[in-house]
């Protein structure tokens, strides 16, 4: 008998897999690429909401858990997917400068917001009010992570490319049977694909479509992330990732002309040099109306669990939530009430 079947191999699924393996648990992972939001995500991590200069929920706790885990994976698999880069928030007025200074003075934000403005001049970007620098930032190349981790799981015979069949689950008192596999638990970490899951499709997973561009611009010459109405993320070889849009009605992962036009328009408000569009892609982020993740155990079937709703901050949230769910299952540790799916069932 194995300990965990894990359905989904994005940030949430990989985080849970690694935590379980580190605890010497036996796992089987189904890729189940139902909505590949992890693969097309921007991958930025940032502990501050830069629209309002406010702290991300549990930012310090997330950082303290996530990055030792990612660095452990990098060392184990001999790959690099974590790239630390400063994020500079372009400021637009004296009032915004003052708001930045006030935020940087707050005890919960002072570790993340630099109190000294960055006055560096970047070619082809006009910024008379300078930039605020955010610490503990960068990006994960999530495609590298997923590809390397999938190969690793294959090498230890813990990986399946088969589409998971919900109808094939048989429930028993102390285990489930999935086809020929006997398991103690199933973790569903499917992102927006949760809507097809008959056990958890009543949860309020909304989904927000995001579109991104890859541009080539030799004249830009950036070695930091610029954050304004969009972010501009240097990924090497004069290439930059530009994102992202937010669409609450379209639930497809098909790029649109409207999305591209919006990104181009906002980009041209920030930079004054020419650029070429190299790629344009889209995905649906697994978002929740109350802006909190969906983590916990099914109210009827105690062997199945959900790890979802990471939204736009999956890089930081994934490991932190996966560890909470693992400790909840293994040691009966209570989940934080903000993330526990019990809150959704209480409202019904």
Task: Identify the pLDDT of residue 144.
Answer: 94
Q: What share of the chain is helix, strand, coil (3-state, %, to 5)?
A: 30, 30, 40
pLDDT digits (tens, 9 = 90+) for 13-25: 999 999 999 999 9
Task: Identify the pLDDT of residue 291.
Answer: 85
Out of 37-41, 212-216, 227-231, 262-266, which region has the weakest mean confidence (pLDDT)? 37-41
Predicted confidence (pLDDT) at residue 35 exceeds the cutoff of 80:
no
Reference 8, options 294, 300, 336; nearest CA is: 294
Predicted confidence (pLDDT) at residue 190 exceeds the cutoff of 80:
yes
Task: Identify the pLDDT of residue 107.
Answer: 94
Tokens coding 324: 């909470």
Predicted confidence (pLDDT) at residue 348 exceeds the cutoff of 60:
no
Each as own residue / partner, the long-range contacts of residues 95-100 (CB below 8 Å, 24 or more positions apart, any chain) are 96/129, 97/129, 97/130, 99/53, 100/53, 100/132
Give the residue, 339 or 36, on which the prediction is more confident: 339
The share of the chain scoring above pLDDT 70, in percent, equals 97
**CA separation for the pair 190, 188 (Å, rounded):** 6
The domain ranges of the chain are 2-46+142-204+289-346, 84-137+206-285
**CA separation for the pair 261, 263 (Å, rounded):** 5
Residue 154 near residue 249, CB atoms below 8 Å: no
Predicted confidence (pLDDT) at residue 34 exceeds the cutoff of 70:
no
Reference 339, options 297, 281, 279; nearest CA is: 297
pLDDT band for position 345 (cuts 50, 70, 90): confident
Task: Identify the pLDDT of residue 124.
Answer: 96
The share of the chain scoring above pLDDT 90, in percent, equals 88
Predicted confidence (pLDDT) at residue 38 exceeds the cutoff of 60:
no
Task: Identify the pLDDT of residue 36.
Answer: 54
Task: Say whether 27 sits in a helix, a strand or coil.
Answer: strand
Domains 2-46+142-204+289-346 and 84-137+206-285 share a fold: no
Rounding to the nearest 10 degrees, give the CA dihedral for residues 75, 76, 79, 85.
-40
84-137+206-285 carries CATH number 3.20.20.70: no
Predicted confidence (pLDDT) at residue 337 exceeds the cutoff of 90:
yes
Predicted confidence (pLDDT) at residue 6 exceeds the cutoff of 90:
yes
pLDDT digits (tens, 9 = 90+) for 307-331: 999 988 999 999 999 999 999 999 9
Question: Exposure of 91 by Cβ count < 10 A (0-12 exposed, 13-18 middle, 19+ buried)?
Answer: buried
Give the residue, 182 or 285, on which the prediction is more confident: 182
Predicted confidence (pLDDT) at residue 183 exceeds the cutoff of 80:
yes
**CA separation for the pair 251, 193 (Å, rounded):** 11
Please provide the average confidence, as pLDDT, over all residues in the chain: 94
**CA separation for the pair 304, 316 (Å, rounded):** 24
In terms of residues, how long is the chain? 348
pLDDT digits (tens, 9 = 90+) for 128-141: 999 999 999 999 99
Pick the CATH number of 2-46+142-204+289-346 from 3.20.20.10, 3.90.1150.10, 3.50.50.60, 3.30.70.20: 3.50.50.60
Task: Identify the pLDDT of residue 312.
Answer: 84
| DSSP string across 135-186 | SS-EEE-HHHHHHHHHHHHHHTT-EE-SPP-GGGEEE-SS-EEETTEEEEEE
Task: Identify the pLDDT of residue 295.
Answer: 98
Arithmetic mean of pLDDT, 205-215: 92
């Amino acid at each position: 008998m194995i300990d965990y079947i894990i359905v989904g191999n994005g940030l949430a699924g990989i985080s849970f897999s690694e935590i379980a393996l580190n605890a010497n648990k036996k796992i089987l992972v189904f890729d189940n690429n139902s909505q590949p939001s992890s693969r097309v995500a921007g991958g930025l991590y940032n502990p501050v909401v830069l629209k309002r200069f406010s702290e991300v929920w549990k930012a310090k706790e997330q950082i303290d858990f996530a990055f030792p885990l990612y660095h452990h994976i990098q060392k184990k698999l001999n790959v690099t997917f974590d790239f630390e880069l400063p994020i500079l928030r372009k400021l637009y007025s004296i009032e915004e400068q003052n708001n930045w200074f006030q935020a940087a003075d707050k005890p919960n934000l002072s570790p993340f917001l630099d109190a000294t403005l960055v006055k560096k001049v970047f070619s082809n970007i006009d910024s008379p009010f300078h930039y605020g620098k955010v610490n503990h930032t960068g990006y994960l190349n999530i495609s590298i992570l997923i590809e390397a981790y999938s190969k690793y799981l294959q090498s230890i015979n813990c990986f399946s490319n088969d589409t998971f069949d919900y109808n094939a689950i048989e429930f028993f008192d102390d285990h489930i049977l999935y086809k020929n596999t006997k398991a103690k638990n199933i973790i569903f970490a499917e992102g927006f694909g949760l809507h097809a899951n008959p056990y958890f499709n009543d949860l309020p997973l909304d989904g927000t479509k995001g579109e991104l561009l890859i541009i080539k611009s030799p004249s830009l010459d950036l070695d930091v992330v610029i954050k304004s109405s969009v972010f501009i993320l240097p990924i090497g070889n004069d290439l930059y990732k530009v994102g992202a849009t937010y669409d609450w009605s379209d639930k497809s992962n098909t790029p649109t002309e409207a999305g591209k036009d919006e990104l181009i328009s906002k980009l041209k408000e920030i930079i004054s040099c020419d650029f070429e569009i190299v790629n344009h892609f889209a995905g649906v982020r697994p978002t929740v109306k109350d802006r909190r993740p969906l983590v916990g155990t099914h109210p009827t079937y105690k062997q199945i669990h959900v790890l979802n709703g990471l939204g736009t901050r999956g890089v930081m949230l994934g490991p932190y939530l996966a560890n909470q769910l693992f400790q909840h299952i293994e040691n009966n540790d209570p989940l934080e009430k903000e993330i526990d799916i019990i809150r959704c069932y209480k409202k019904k």
